[in-house]
Amino acid sequence: MGLRIFDRLFRRREEQYDDRYDRREDQYYEGPPEVENDSMLVDHHFIYPPEDDYDKHVGSMVYQIELENNTEYPMGNIRVEFNGRYKLGRFGEPDIRTKLLDPGDKTVIRIPFAPLYQGGSEELEFEIVFFDFRYKVEESILMKTEPLKVVVPRFQKLEMDEDGFRFLTADLYRWVVESDVIKITPQDLFNLLSRRFEKMGFSTSNEMENPSLYRGIRQMVATDPKGRKWAAQVQVIGQGKESRCLMYTFGERPLSAYNLAVKALLKVDSREEIVNAIK
């Protein structure tokens, strides 16, 4: 569920009203008297598109912005611009289906977001830029995303067998972390990731290793003080000093599954090599 906030947005007119705008201070201001402050209604939040036919299998984040032209004049050349670099991730190219909104029209902009698997909380700034046909001037609206928070509870051990793991994870959201080649021997990588989850409080439900052409799989579960269920599956394949990782993390919400992946990778040994190889 995303945060649904309808922002009443204030306009700025830098070219015509420089004396009303100070970039060093607050970038919002009440525009000239004839400007309607609620001219564009915006609903914006993170969504987690399914990666296959099952809507609980998520592996990406998208920031979705819904715009509505609430004036009597068209708005054109709509685009989104990003301000600087962010701690928790990077925005991709916005998917803008139409660059012109007639009065009363609505549109949805979707922006892919690539997480950097860092911890903390952040509101990501961006601007919606458009041409206002009423005043024949380009305008921009400074906005912040809903807060993206990486928070997980203290985990508690939960005993469960392989069948229990399968039934449990069928009802949870799944986040996917898949890597390209990592310059770590496969058994070492498998042990690094497995030990990380064990240190976090997870118990092993099932484990399998094939040392010849190496393949290791470990399934793990945990609970927390509120009784919520969590799970993870680590799979590593490789040969010699090269390996690939496929890691699933499970939670009761999409953000929970993502946060678990961040928590696991945040303090894992060889973090830089692993995170830099994530697709």
What would the pLDDT profile of 74-93 be if each residue is shown by its tens digit?
999 999 998 778 899 999 99
Low-confidence ranges of the chain (pLDDT < 50): 1-37
2 in a domain, yes or no?
no
Residue 48, class by beta-carbon neighbours within 10 Å (0-12 exposed, 13-18 middle, 19+ buried)? buried
Is the Cβ–Cβ distance between 251 and 224 less than 8 Å? no
Q: Are 80 and 65 in contact (CB under 8 A)?
A: yes
Question: Is residue 143 domain-shared with residue 12, that is, in the same domain?
Answer: yes
Last residue within a domain, chosen from 150, 171, 188: 150
Say which CATH number the domain at 44 has.
2.60.40.10
Q: In this structure, are 134 and 199 located in the same domain? A: no
* 77 and 203, same domain (yes or no): no
Give CA–CA dist 51/23, Å, rounded: 41
Looking at the structure, tell me whether residues 233 and 106 fall in a common domain. Answer: no
Asked whether 81 and 94 are in contact (CB, 8 A), the reply is: no
> Last residue of some domain: 150, 165, 196?
150
Which token pair is 207?
């484990």
| 33 and 103 inside one domain | yes
Calculate the dihedral angle through the C-alpha atoms of 63, 4, 10, 74, rounding to the nearest 10 degrees: 70
Please tell me whether residues 144 and 168 are part of one structural domain. no
Domain range holding 72? 7-150
User: What is the per-residue pLDDT across 8-44, written as a single tens digit (0 to 9) for each?
Assistant: 343 333 333 333 323 333 232 232 233 333 567 788 8
Rounded Cα distance between 92 and 188, Å, is 33
180 in a domain, yes or no? yes
Q: Are residues 226 and 183 part of one domain?
A: yes
Last residue of a domain, one of 125, 150, 175: 150
What gap in Å lies between CA 185 and CA 114, rounded to an integer? 27
Note whether 234 and 265 are within 8 A (CB): no
What is the rounded CA–CA span in Å between residue 222 and residue 48? 23
Report CA Rg, the chain.
23
Helices marked H in the chain: 162-169, 186-200, 254-266, 271-276
Residue 37 lies in a domain: yes
Q: What is the C-alpha to C-alpha distance for residues 31 and 40, in angstroms, rounded to an integer?
A: 14
Q: Are residues 213 and 109 in the same domain?
A: no
CATH number for position 176: 3.30.310.10
The whole-number pLDDT of residue 217 equals: 98
- Domain identity same for 137 and 216: no
User: Is 14 a member of any domain?
Assistant: yes
Whether 118 and 266 have beta carbons less than 8 Å apart is answered as: yes
Question: Does one domain contain both 123 and 161?
Answer: no
> Distance between CA 262 and CA 148 in Å, rounded?
12
Q: Are 263 and 256 in contact (CB under 8 A)?
A: no
In a domain, 213, yes or no: yes
The residue written with tokens 């928790």 in the block is: 88
In a domain, 1, yes or no: no
Same domain, 31 and 142: yes
Is residue 74 located within the same domain as residue 197?
no
Total domains in the fold of the chain: 2
Please report whether residue 120 resides in a domain.
yes
